[in-house]
Amino acid sequence: MTKPLRKAVLPVAGLGTRFLPATKATAKEMLPVVDKPLIQYAIEEARAAGIEQFCMVTGRGKTALVEHFDVAYELERTLKERNKSEALEALKATQVEPGSIVTVRQQVPLGLGHAIWCARAFIGDDPFAILLPDDLVLSETPCLRQLADAYRDTGGNVVAVTEVPREQTNRYGILRIGKDDGRLVEVTGLVEKPEPKDAPSNLSIIGRYVLMPEVIGHLSKMERGAGNEVQLTDGMAKLIGNQPFYGLRYEGRRFDCGDKVGFLEAQIAFALKRPDLADAVRGFLKTYV
């Protein structure tokens, strides 16, 4: 019987050096796209997929990530006194069940695989999702919900995948594929950041995963891979052949908000989806383009 998917891990320990000086004293996951920080988009997407428990793998200076989802009594009281009903309504999306968010520290930056291993006590024996807040997906059906549905259908590991230019395969985890129905792809192997001439395909994993807990056992060996780091891709590769493993061509557009251009593009794309902003944004864009 397929266990329900109720847990999500969010690796948020990175320093955000590509956005300095903005991230000198602010977690990069608190950078807003329009009027919501990246971390809130990730939590909202997870909740839409039925996730009830969250583990943030943090580092020093990341306390604002948890505080964002805490109750702000003084702020709420002030807004009520001033009859700021729209602002109060906006705060509701930051409210989570008490005890539903926990944090663990990744004291040393040893890679994404190491960050997930740090959440091993939270994961336990349950299937779990991973969301990288830097990857923001604009879609009709939230990306993780699409993966959760695929997990229920297949009973195994599912990762979100997208096609990348062949010359960029050395930036991503790349799939070796078997059966392919155009949406769901059987994964027969994984290679972390292969050179274009060695890449088995151009299907890349983005920052959305549903994994079985057995991956922790492989990550616990602390084997170093690309970049001399503990790579999640290497741990996942050990599951192939022992458990179902699929890539899902998700519906939607992904924005790499860890990149300045991707972050700026996300601002425009998400603003254009807002009825209260779309006309004004189209208007000012004509001034510059």
Please name each of the domains of the chain with its CATH number: 7-288 (3.90.550.10)
Q: What is the pLDDT of residues 232-252, one digit of tens each?
A: 988 999 999 889 999 999 999
Q: What is the pLDDT of residues 239-286, one digit of tens each?
A: 998 899 999 999 999 999 999 999 999 999 999 999 999 999 999 999
Query: Where are any strands of DSSP class E within the chain?
Result: 7-11, 32-33, 36-37, 53-58, 101-105, 128-131, 135-138, 157-163, 173-180, 184-192, 203-211, 245-249, 253-256
Q: What is the pLDDT of residues 117-172, one digit of tens each?
A: 999 999 999 999 999 999 999 999 999 999 999 999 999 999 999 998 988 888 88
Burial class (CB in 10 A: 0-12, 13-18, 19+), 229: middle
